[in-house]
């Protein structure tokens, strides 16, 4: 055991010294932090106010659109003010309007302050997303869409700039409306009634807003034309019976499907990914390590000091430790970042903000109250051993990394299947596909991790686990035999038949 430990320690120490190891340790938290922070930064500073113009031949809709834009901006500013208050650093003047759960009594505050209710010391209202500006000189506000488009072309293509408050600004979009918009439900030629011109096709927020505003107005007019009261129609349209999901397996009174249940359903997928990444991250290290010793003939010195079994166990343990360290750091950083992002946010406030921040608590509860964690630990360990044994045995029969890569191709293909299946298995965790796949040992850990939260039959749990245990044992035993012979072999990698012979003797 001492010798296996020495081998393992060297593998760990040597791999831990490589730049690649530290890069991969850091890259995951870095990507995670960036992917959270960058959109926030972009939201804060990145997207500039976008200027657009309207040429409305009918002259009826431009004011409506302007009104909608203004209303949207006010809503965003008010939401920002609420968030500002929730973070707790609001001035004394405001405290009278803040409830004990850090929510702002906006109506009360607004009533007291009047038009200046957004001018709070320390609070900066978000800049508007869109701003309607006057048409450039020489473009008639009442021009038909075709003419207006032609006249606006230099601005739309960025050849000329608008002048906004004396500053040059690019024109983001132009909304051109025909004199006659359809009043009946129709598509086709008349659908050209609203022309939206913009070089930016990705950001559809403005286009959606314009379309929605105009169509709501058109419908309102149609209701009036049909003799219906728009207020009544709006009333009718608000009718909505809410849908609540229930789970029949839960105890009475607890059937409501909440966030925790969704996490419970998707958490296994995370574990499956972790296992998958763990296997792949160590596969390369295992292969390189075996092949270096083989091609350098260090293996002979090693085998004069340790048994092939000790060597194999040491290698597996050392490289597994490296892989698990990497994984551990990743998971820890994930948890740390989630906790950090939800820091200072009370659960009620978090729930109000969309429930995202309540996740860590939910996850903790799930891990504490179910046998999910021990089950994952067992499946993870067995799956990990199964595949690393396989990879190590294959590596031992190869002389160069190139030879080994071709074997790895097969393993990669084998491993793609559970990943592809992962979309389907959680939807029907006890269906035929899931059940069949879980009895195939290479896929057992992946599939069973996904099924374990869905209360699979005990027969499946115990049966597949026993089968996997036996198979992992067999793989490790067989790998030991192949390793023992393969490791000293030079020349061509053995044929499959020869490998089988090695297993028998």
Q: Which of 18, 35, 140, 150 binds other proteins (CB under 8 A)?
A: 18
Q: Which of 33, 216, 295, 333 binds other proteins (CB under 8 A)?
A: 295
Taking the complex as a whole, how short is the minimal distance between the CB of residue 478 and other proteins, in angstroms?
19
Binding other proteins (rule: CB under 8 A), the pick from 292, 348, 428, 455 is 292
Of 80, 170, 79, residue with least CA distance to 122:
80
**DSSP strand pairing (194-198 vs 162-164):** unpaired
Quote the tokens at residue 453. 């939260």
- Would you say 191 or 296 has its CB closer to other proteins? 296
Burial class of 211 by CB neighbour count within 10 A (0 to 12, 13 to 18, 19+) = middle
CA distance readout (Å), 170 to 47, 156, 164, 426: 13, 8, 9, 49
- Position 402 contacts other proteins (CB under 8 A): no
Task: Kindly state the smallest distance separating residue 305's Cβ from other proteins, in Å.
Answer: 4
Q: CB of 443 within 8 A of CB of 468?
A: no
Residue 325 CB, nearest approach to other proteins (Å): 18
Q: How far is the CB of 318 from other proteins (least distance, A)?
A: 13
Least distance (Å) between residue 322 CB and other proteins: 14
* Whether the Cβ atoms of residue 245 and residue 257 lie closer than 8 Å to each other: yes
Site string for other proteins, 249-278 (x = CB under 8 A): ------------------------------
Span from 59-67, 159-167, 241-249, 299-307 in contact with other proteins (CB under 8 A): 299-307
Q: Does 306 bind other proteins (CB under 8 A)?
A: yes
Q: What are phi and psi of 195, to 5 degrees?
A: -105, 125
Pick from 281, 290, 284, 286: which is nearest to 323 by CA?
281
Number of residues interacting with other proteins: please give it, by CB under 8 A: 22
Sketch the per residue contact string, 307 through 326, with other proteins: x for CB under 8 A, - otherwise: x-------------------
Measured CA distances, 271 to 109, 276, 338, 431 (Å): 48, 9, 17, 21
The single-letter DSSP state of residue 457 is: -
Residue 282 CA, distance from chain mean position: 24
Smallest separation, CB 494 to other proteins (Å): 13
Query: Binder to other proteins among 95, 167, 304, 423 (CB under 8 A)?
Result: 304
What residues between 476 and 505 interact with other proteins by CB under 8 A? 488
CB of 301 to other proteins, least distance (A): 6
Q: Which of 83, 300, 428, 455 binds other proteins (CB under 8 A)?
A: 300
3 contributes a contact to other proteins by CB under 8 A: yes
Residues sharing a CB contact under 8 Å with residue 267, sequence separation 6 or more, in sequence order: 363, 366, 372, 453
Of 317, 454, 444, 321, give the one whose Cα is nearest residue 382.
444
Identity of the residue, 343 or 497, whose beta carbon is nearer to other proteins in the bound complex: 497
Closer residue to other proteins, CB minimum distance, 310 or 460: 310
Residue selected from 212, 234, 297, 427 as contacting other proteins according to rule CB under 8 A: 297
**Residue 302, interface with other proteins (CB under 8 A)?**
yes
- For other proteins, which residue of 303, 356, 433, 467 counts as binding (CB under 8 A)? 303
Closer residue to other proteins in complex, CB, 210/285 = 285
Among 27, 42, 183, 298, binds other proteins (CB under 8 A): 298
Write the DSSP assignment of 67-101 as a string of letters: HHHHHHHHHHHHHHHHHHHHTT---HHHHTTB-TT
CB of 304 to other proteins, least distance (A): 4
- d(CA 465, CA 449) in angstroms, rounded, equals 11
Rounded CA-CA distance 222/113 in Å is: 39
Q: Three-state SS string across 237-294, please?
A: HCCCCCCCCECCCCCCCCCECCHHHHHHHHHHHHHHHHHHHHHHHHHHHHHHHHHHHH
CB of 303 to other proteins, least distance (A): 5
Q: Which is nearer to other proteins, 220 or 489 (CB)?
A: 489
Q: How far is the CB of 397 from other proteins (least distance, A)?
A: 16
Question: Taking contact as CB under 8 A, which single stretch among the options 183-191, 288-296, 330-338, 427-435 is the one that binds other proteins?
Answer: 288-296
Q: Which is nearer to other proteins, 187 or 490 (CB)?
A: 490
Q: At what angle do helices 2-16 and 259-296 cross, to 10 degrees?
A: 100
Shortest approach of other proteins to residue 400 CB, angstroms? 14
Ranges of H-type helices in 422-494 = 432-438, 444-451, 458-486
Out of 27, 31, 40, 301, the only residue in the binding site for other proteins (CB under 8 A) is 301
- Interface residues with other proteins (CB under 8 A) are 3, 6-7, 10, 14, 17-18, 292-293, 295-298, 300-307, 488
């Amino acid at each position: 055991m001492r010798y296996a430990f020495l081998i393992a320690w060297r593998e760990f120490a040597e791999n831990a010294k490589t730049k690649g190891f530290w890069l991969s340790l850091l890259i995951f938290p870095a990507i995670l932090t960036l992917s959270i922070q960058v959109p926030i930064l972009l939201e804060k500073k990145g997207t500039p106010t976008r200027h657009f113009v309207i040429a409305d031949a009918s002259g009826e809709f431009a004011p409506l659109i302007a009104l909608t834009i203004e209303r949207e901006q006010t809503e965003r500013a008010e939401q920002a003010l609420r968030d500002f208050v929730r973070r707790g650093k609001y001035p004394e003047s405001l405290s009278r309007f803040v409830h004990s759960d850090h929510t702002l009594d906006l109506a009360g505050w607004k009533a007291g302050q009047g038009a200046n209710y957004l001018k709070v010391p320390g609070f900066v209202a978000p800049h508007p997303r869109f701003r309607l500006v006057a048409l450039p000189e020489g473009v008639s506000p009442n021009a038909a869409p075709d003419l207006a488009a032609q006249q606006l072309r230099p601005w739309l293509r960025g050849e000329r700039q608008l002048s906004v408050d004396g500053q040059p600004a690019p024109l983001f979009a132009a909304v051109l409306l025909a004199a006659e918009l359809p009043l009946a439900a129709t598509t086709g030629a008349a659908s050209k009634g609203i022309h939206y011109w913009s070089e930016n096709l990705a950001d559809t927020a403005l286009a959606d807003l314009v379309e929605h505003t105009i169509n709501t107005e058109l419908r309102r007019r149609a209701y009036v034309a049909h003799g219906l009261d728009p207020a009544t129609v709006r009333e009718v349209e608000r009718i909505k019976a809410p849908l609540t999901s229930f789970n029949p397996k839960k105890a009475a009174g607890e059937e409501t499907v909440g966030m925790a249940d969704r996490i419970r359903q998707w958490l296994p997928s995370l574990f499956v990914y972790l296992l998958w990444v763990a296997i792949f991250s160590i596969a390369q290290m295992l292969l390189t390590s075996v092949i270096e010793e083989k091609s350098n003939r260090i293996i002979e010195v090693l085998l004069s000091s340790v048994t092939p079994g000790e060597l194999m166990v040491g290698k597996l343990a050392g490289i597994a430790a490296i892989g698990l360290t990497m994984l551990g750091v990743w998971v820890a950083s994930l948890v740390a970042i989630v906790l950090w992002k939800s820091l200072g946010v009370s659960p009620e406030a978090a729930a109000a903000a969309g429930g995202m921040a309540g996740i860590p608590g939910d996850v903790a509860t799930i891990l504490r109250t179910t046998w999910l964690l021990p089950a994952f630990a067992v499946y993870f360990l067995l799956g990990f051993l199964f595949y690393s044994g396989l990879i190590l045995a294959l590596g031992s029969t190869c002389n160069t990394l190139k030879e080994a890569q071709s074997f790895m191709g097969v393993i990669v293909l084998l491993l793609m299947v559970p990943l592809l299946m992962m979309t389907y298995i959680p939807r029907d965790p006890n269906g035929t596909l899931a059940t069949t796949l879980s009895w195939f040992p290479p896929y057992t850990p992946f599939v069973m991790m996904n099924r374990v939260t869905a209360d699979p039959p005990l027969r499946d749990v115990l049966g597949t686990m026993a089968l996997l245990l036996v198979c992992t044992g067999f793989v490790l035993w067989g790998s030991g035999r192949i390793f023992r012979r393969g490791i000293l072999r030079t020349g061509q990698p053995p044929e499959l038949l020869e490998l089988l012979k090695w297993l028998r003797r």
